[in-house]
Structure 1
Amino acid sequence: MAQETMSFQAEVKQLLHLMIHSLYSNKEIFLRELISNASDAADKLRFEGIENSGLYENDADLRIRISYDKAARTVTIDDNGIGMSRDEAISHLGTIARSGTKEFFSKLSGDQQKDAALIGQFGVGFYSGFIVADKITVETRRAGLPASEGVRWESAGEGDFVVEQIERAQRGSSITLHLRPEEDEFLSTHKLKSIIQKYSDHVALPILMKKEEWDAEKSEMVTKDEDETVNQASALWTRPKSDITDEQYKQFYQHLSHDHDDPLTWTHNRVEGRSEYTQLLYVPKHAPFDMWNRDHKGGLKLYVKRVFIMDDAEQLVPVYLRFVKGVVDSADLPLNVSREILQESRDVKAIREGVTKRVLSMLEEVASSSAEATDDAEKAKYDTFWKEFGQVFKEGIGEDYGNRERIAKLVRFASTHTDSSEQTVALADYVSRMKPEQTKIYYVTADTWQAAKNSPHLEVFRKKGVEVLLLTDRVDEWMLSFLNEFDGKPLQSVARGDLDLGALNDEEKQAQEKVGEELKPLVESMKVALEGKAKDVRLTFRLTDSPTCLVADDGDMSGYLQRMLKQAGQAAPQMQPILEVNPEHPLVKKLHADDANFSDWCHLLFDQAMLAEGGSLEDPASFVKRTNALLLAR
């Protein structure tokens, strides 16, 4: 078939420009990314070879070969993995999956280290070759296709690429980088070896290069016609923990996750018993760009007896731990396991439970060591985890009933005690500071920390020195529907139901009853004025500075949750709030039922209370008109 010239997808052109002009100070990543792709190609061949051993074509020794040619000024990365057909070469090398392109470009920061780390995460590592090359040639053949259906793909990294059919006996792919004039440093065995050992030492395939030896007669290193393996070439998780350094664990994490940063923490162990498997699990330092996407790829790499089965095996880890990276290698699952079989398997259920318990134990250790640490970096470790993954982790309260108590101990909140928006307060911390006569854990929900902190509902708690948790994450209301108590103490919203502070309030109850009788006619008149707007009007002593506040009746949905559902485009039941009135406030004392403006005052106080809790008014124009009229009347 003749050569065919085709244009890159628009996003690829933008990406190529970035690679060539923005990442030149972090050039080494090209080799890391191309070796990682070659390793993935071998994994895919192993997986497809389970059903069709003929794909190996009598060559089952998988490897990656790195070579260079000083005269031609090329570096070549060659693998005997799955390879590509013509259509696959056009698809994989000429386009980027559109689902990720917008997020990729929005995440670019201008920081070359950070941007380089994004490349692998978004599956665009192939294009990093253009950092050092002004032309890339790919020769490839998909396993199982005849030699006549080889493909050559070539591009100078500008607007288009050329594809042609070639004769290729070897399956797999050979990527040749034609180096830019200033990139001679990569035409060196020492340089290439050092990059491989730095970034790719724990790729499970052997990475081969021609051996070099010192020639005394020539007084230089000469290349021998003999291969040597330049990486460890063994599955890291199969080795004893005592043989693995922290640096090796970190390097493996970077290879596994395409994350340029070190992991926050990790755990590695072998499980024996009902199910036999090895797990190596990592918690990253940073949340992935698409953690909140509905189709986010989460889960772990699954191996069976060291044979790669699949990426993103989400059945091995619960959704609320979807940020965990790592490997599970099972001794019990069949090699031809599918995602459907995974959903039904008892062995997988046991692995999932084991992974969950191991991750929770790991987080408990981090939380404990952070609390006791004197070193600032160690102290901040759990706070780092919580800032990145706290909102997702809270989902576990509702999703994982069996581990709910353990999860609750690991959850963190902002609180009036710290007077900071940072979520650093554990429920156990709160309980340890409770007043002797206090029986409940109090909280308030709001859209922002400022709104929660300044909520009128907190006034009586400040007066009595009672701590209140300030909840502002969107997941909080949902989470609290599953978390009713902690350590035997019920959780109580300060904005729900009739506030009863129990023994904290005994002295004031008699005075309240007396005032209640005196103002009963006023309250009844307010109920009439606000009919259809307020479910009820009642006096309250939870306020000290504000004239009114809104509360939800017991069993009703809070105003905050109603607003959240509306923002998400979901139908929210229209529930009227209860208006609570502070009888000690000067505005309330001036209210008279026979005043000509009485109805306007009632509506104004209701609207003020709605705004104070972060709500929005149904009719802002009427609110402004009413306010102006009352100001003029005064």
Structure 2
Amino acid sequence: MTAQVETFEFQAEVRQLLQLMIHSIYSNKDAFLRELVSNASDALDKLRLEAFRDKDLQVDTDDLHIELAVDKDARTLTVRDNGIGMTRDDVVRLIGTIAKSGTAEFLRQVRESQDAAGAQDLIGQFGVGFYASFMVADKVELVTRYAGEAEGTRWESGGEGTYTIEPVADAPQGTSVILHLKAADAEEQLTDYTTPWKLREIVKRYSDFITWPIRMETTKPAVDEDSEPTTEVETLNSMKALWARPQSEVTAEEYSEFYRHIANDWAEPLKTVQMSAEGTFEYQALLFIPSHAPLDLFMRDAHRGIQLYVKRVFIMDDCESLIPEYLRFVKGVVDAADLSLNVSRETLQQDRQIQLIRRRLVKKILSTVKDLRGADAEKYRTFWTEFGRAVKEGLVQDTDNRDAILEICSFDSTLDPEQPTSLRGYVERMKEGQQHIYYMTGDSRSVIENSPHLEAFRDKGYEVLVLTDPIDEMWVDAVPEYDGKQFQSIAKGQVDLDTEEDEERKAEYADFLTWMSESLKDAVKEVRLSKRLTTSPACVVGDSGDLAPNLEKMYRAMGHELPQVKRILELNPTHPLVAGLRAAHAERPEDESLAETASLLHDMAVLAEGGELADSARFIRLLAGRLERSL
């Protein structure tokens, strides 16, 4: 009985991606083999782990390996492994579609990339290297059988709009990818990937560190006329675990290639960190700080964590117990000597050794970034631009390392729009007698710079931190101080700028302030004179313990029920509008139109800080009426 062949259409995004691949956005086509070998290595890791977990799984793990096979006459190259394999559903899900978030964004960025190097960085960032096969092949076949299943699956495509799938009765366990190579083209100088020397070169350059043997059958010519050519199976890689070798024996290129292998990234790492510990518990770690943020850095389903090995045996990807969430961008491996091979994620969360390793990794990463700040300003700027938002999450999550995190943070300030500052630098520039580190949060720098709250601080020469990331609203309430100096929002509570109190003016405005407070009681907690205003008539401020407006908005957007947070209206007694309104109220205390003016004054203050009005239609109606009467 003939097996039924089914034809499917590629997902739209895959079709676009294949066209990009076929038209060679990679600057070096050799990379296709690295991608396939990396996938095969992952499949072998997963089989070894599954065999530890499931003792009833009927698989042979005695000779796990990757094999390269060439047929010069047929112009095919096969990359074969005897790893975990794939089910039919796996094939459809992993190859027929792109089952990851951010596909549209990824394709948009690739199309907008101005050069091949930028595009290949994005390819690695997204992790779809299997499709690189179509750079060198007119047709790709994949034959696979999942470990423990009786039937395999054949997938085939020419890289156009469709692919076929059919069941295979006698498929060996694991996966074979057969590339039907394009014809050699002298003009394009396509390399012949059926020549053993070329395959040796690629494996040595990209995959020498792979922990599984990569084998290839080669033919040696006859030594004389009476002898026959001989064949032998050659192992192409050294299989030395990079993290176990002395740093003096590893080149920068080897570190970079290993990073690319584990991170699915084409770019160079920004920083490499190698460490080890001996004594009561032993481990080795090789960590990398990437040079750019992954597309899914702030997505809920983003992968995070370090690869965990035990005595060179792969245990799991994305071991979240080894790294806190705010350092989720760090890639690498940890090889522990004393853990059980069948350790579970749940057990790891409670394991004392894992917790000790985690603490040491965090301290090492933070100290490395601090050293980077002092040694290479350009690399530090790259780090903070790419990962600063994530790192600041640690100010809320990781109280034990809060001081170390603060030391590596950078913040925009009113001092120099082009040059962020460290907190150390801010404190060193503080004015004599200044007791607080002043800051303001907002949606953007322009909103903050145009805020009335900033007026007196600007006039008196006080530097103010400009905080515009959503996480800033949270950490400023969680972090009490830095270097003995408390953080103080210029939009909250009372401010003390050594402004002389005008007791006579306060007494003069007392009745007016009482009337204003009563008139606006549904909207504000209090009306008082301001020390922070110099040119604007009014501003709204929060009480010391109040929730910031942006944070309140964020919680409400997430569906949290919150009581109304009334704010304080501060008036500038030197502004003609405020002085005129006070005089008018003194003359005509019963004039109801003055209450409308008070309401307009409050609403203008809300709008001046970028806030939202509770009743914008009423504001427009009142303002239109006033404008009409002024004509």
Q: Report the TM-score when normalising by structure 1.
A: 0.90
Q: Is the 8 A contact 2:26 2:120 kept in 1?
A: no
Q: Is the 8 A contact 1:275 1:350 kept in 2?
A: no
Look up the match of 1:491: 487
Q: Report the TM-score when normalising by structure 2.
A: 0.91
Note the C-alpha offset of 1:395.
1.0
SS of match in other structure, 1:549: strand
Look up the match of 1:362: 368
Give the root-mean-square deviation of aligned CA atoms: 2.5
Q: Which amino acid aligns with 1:531?
A: K
> 2:135 is matched with which residue: 131, 134, 143?
131
Look up the match of 1:372: none
Answer yes or no: is 1:584 the counterpart of 2:574: yes
Structural mapping, 1:146-295, within 5 Å: 149-158=151-160, 159-168=162-171, 170-181=172-183, 182=185, 183=190, 185-211=192-218, 225-295=231-301
Q: Which amino acid aligns with 1:412?
A: S
CA distance in 2, matches of 1:223, 1:208: 19
SS of match in other structure, 1:380: helix
CA distance in 1, matches of 2:100, 2:60: 37
Q: Is the 8 A contact 1:282 1:326 kept in 2?
A: yes
Look up the match of 1:415: 413
Look up the match of 1:373: none
Q: Is the 8 A contact 2:155 2:163 kept in 1?
A: no
Answer yes or no: is 1:515 the counterpart of 2:505: yes
Q: Which amino acid aligns with 2:424?
A: A
Note the C-alpha offset of 1:3.
3.3
Look up the match of 2:303: 297
CA distance in 2, matches of 1:442, 1:419: 16
CA distance in 2, matches of 1:134, 1:500: 74
Q: Which amino acid aligns with 1:582?
A: N
CA distance in 1, matches of 2:504, 2:152: 94
CA distance in 2, matches of 1:527, 1:87: 67
Structural mapping, 1:302-317, within 5 Å: 302-317=308-323
Residues 196-236 of structure 1: CA distance to partner in whole angstroms, max 9, x if unpaired?
A: 33332322222223457789999xxx996223333332211
CA distance in 1, matches of 2:17, 2:63: 35
Distance 1:223 1:599, change over 3 A: farther
Distance 1:465 1:87, change over 3 A: closer
CA distance in 1, matches of 2:56, 2:124: 31
Residues 390-412 of structure 1: CA distance to partner in whole angstroms, max 9, x if unpaired?
A: 11111111111111111111121
Q: Which amino acid aligns with 1:253?
A: Y
Q: Is the 8 A contact 2:366 2:404 kept in 1?
A: yes
Look up the match of 1:390: 388
Look up the match of 2:329: 323
CA distance in 2, matches of 1:49, 1:518: 84
Q: Is the 8 A contact 1:154 1:163 kept in 2?
A: no
SS of match in other structure, 2:421: strand
Aligned residues: 612
Answer yes or no: is 1:30 the counterpart of 2:32: yes
SS of match in other structure, 2:524: coil
CA distance in 2, matches of 1:89, 1:295: 21
Note the C-alpha offset of 1:449.
0.8
Structural mapping, 1:429-440, within 5 Å: 429-440=425-436
CA distance in 2, matches of 1:307, 1:461: 60
Note the C-alpha offset of 1:16.
2.8
Note the C-alpha offset of 1:13.
3.5
Note the C-alpha offset of 1:490.
1.0
Look up the match of 1:65: 67
CA distance in 1, matches of 2:204, 2:30: 12
Distance 1:489 1:14, change over 3 A: same
> 1:449 is matched with which residue: 445, 450, 454?
445
Distance 1:418 1:400, change over 3 A: same
Residues 213-263 of structure 1: CA distance to partner in whole angstroms, max 9, x if unpaired?
A: 789999xxx996223333332211111111112221111111110110011
Distance 1:200 1:7, change over 3 A: same
Q: Which amino acid aligns with 1:70?
A: K
Structure 1: runs of 5+ lacking an equivalent? 370-377
Distance 1:566 1:586, change over 3 A: same
Residues 133-189 of structure 1: CA distance to partner in whole angstroms, max 9, x if unpaired?
A: 12112233333445xx34433222331313131324x43222110112345533333
Q: Is the 8 A contact 1:445 1:477 kept in 2?
A: yes
SS of match in other structure, 2:546: coil
Q: Which amino acid aligns with 2:411?
A: F
Look up the match of 2:539: 549
Counting aligned pairs with the same residue, the percent is 46
> 2:43 is matched with which residue: 41, 44, 50?
41
Q: Which amino acid aligns with 1:125?
A: G
Structural mapping, 1:536-615, within 5 Å: 536-591=526-581, 592-593=584-585, 594=587, 596=591, 597-615=593-611
Residues 17-75 of structure 1: CA distance to partner in whole angstroms, max 9, x if unpaired?
A: 33324636543332121111111011011112224578685562322222322211111
Distance 1:56 1:35, change over 3 A: farther
Q: Which amino acid aligns with 1:205?
A: W
Note the C-alpha offset of 1:569.
4.2
Q: Is the 8 A contact 2:222 2:230 kept in 1?
A: no
Q: Is the 8 A contact 1:81 1:172 kept in 2?
A: yes
Distance 1:499 1:363, change over 3 A: same
Q: Is the 8 A contact 1:397 1:408 kept in 2?
A: yes
Q: Which amino acid aligns with 1:194?
A: E
Q: Which amino acid aligns with 2:526?
A: D
Answer yes or no: is 1:401 the counterpart of 2:399: yes
Q: Which amino acid aligns with 1:390?
A: G
Note the C-alpha offset of 1:526.
1.8
CA distance in 1, matches of 2:580, 2:460: 27
Note the C-alpha offset of 1:90.
4.2
Q: Is the 8 A contact 2:48 2:61 kept in 1?
A: no
Q: Is the 8 A contact 2:309 2:335 kept in 1?
A: yes
Q: Which amino acid aligns with 1:385?
A: F
